[in-house]
Each structure stands twice: as C-alpha cells, then as structure tokens.
Amino acid sequence: MIKRLAVILIFIGLIFSSSYAQKLQYGLSFGYSVAGISSRPWIDEELVYGLCGGLVVNYLLNKKLAVHSGLLYLKKGVDGVLSSWGLLPVVTSIHMRVEYLELPIVLKYNPIRNLYLGAGPYLALKISGELILHEDEERNNLLKLGDVGYVLVGGIDFELLRKKHFIEVRFSRGTTSVVADRHNMVLTCIYGIYF
C-alpha cells in the first residue's frame, strides 16, 4: 500500500514538474463529510460526521479537461448493529472510526463554463483507527492499512477577488472490504481556493 502511494506521488510530481505555470493550480480545501458503510443488512446504523481538509492540485489539460488531485484528511466509519445470516443469525454491534489521508486522482470534464463533473480512483492511507465489536471488544488489528476505491465529483469553479475558488460535492466508495465484506462510503461537500 505504501509502495503504491509512493509511486502515485512520484508520478503526479513528474507530471506537474514539467508543466507550465498557467496550467498548474494548487491550493487548500476543506469541507464536511458524512460517512457510512455499504451493504446490508443493518438493523441500526448511525453515520459518522466530520470535517475534512487538505492540499489540492489541478492540472489543466485543455479548456474542457483537467486532472484534479491532492491530499485530503478524511474521517470514515460507522456506529451500528450488523446482522449476518448463515446457518444461524448473528448480531454484532460495531463502533468504527478510521482517519485516512486520501489521494484521489480525478479526471474533470467541464461540459459548460464553470461547471464540472469528474471521476477517478483514490488511494487512502490509514492514519489512525478504532474498531470496537460487542461494545467492549477492541479489534483494531482487523483494520486494514489503507483503502482503495473510486470517487465521483460534481462542482463549480468561480473567481472571487482575483482568486479561483471551487465548491464540489464528492461521493467516494471503497472497493476494499473494511468489515465483513462492507465498504467505506463517504459523501463530502468541499470548498477550495487556488493560489
């Protein structure tokens, strides 16, 4: 996982180091996220709400296309009661909180001026985490080192006080199983500014 992250960071660095200044935009972003776990059956589920923020890089390929990336601190997890049906029904209470440093690589398309849509993969590295089963059984060893998935983005770009800004809504879903064949899902609203 760390090797993959290093290769992706080096690749992004090589792309952006050879770019012209007018094609490269970088800045800061922050926002609010709502996280949960995919799949059923949940008897009861409470979503995890949190703040997110990080660095953002946008490389303009042409007037309609751009590569949007960066590092985003994000909290994912769930509180709930999970039921699993095999020969016998099993009910498990889960409290999971995981903090990630996420690296999305999104291809943005501007169908009309200032409006964009995008999609791409992400790679997330676990910073810290907590997994408690049955209200008192701590099982942090079950948490994986990272998460891999895809992200879908929709947003607007605008200029204010000679700076470029963006507001976007982002949905991401992990493809790595985090708990019992369940995957992370996050809906995030982000504001960012380019310098």
- How do residues 92-116 score in pLDDT, each as one tens digit? 677 777 888 999 999 999 999 899 9
The pLDDT of 14-37, averaged and rounded, is: 77
The pLDDT of 14-28, averaged and rounded, is: 69
pLDDT of residue 69: 93
2-194 topology per CATH: Porin (2.40.160)
Q: Is the pLDDT of residue 43 over 60?
A: no
Residues in the chain: 195
Under the banding of pLDDT at 50, 70 and 90, the label for residue 154 is: very high
pLDDT of residue 134: 66
Residue 110 to residue 33: CA distance in whole angstroms: 24
Average pLDDT score over the chain: 81
**Pair 105, 121: CB distance under 8 Å:** yes
pLDDT of residue 48: 85
- Reply yes or no: is the peptide bond before residue 111 cis, omega within 30 of 0: no
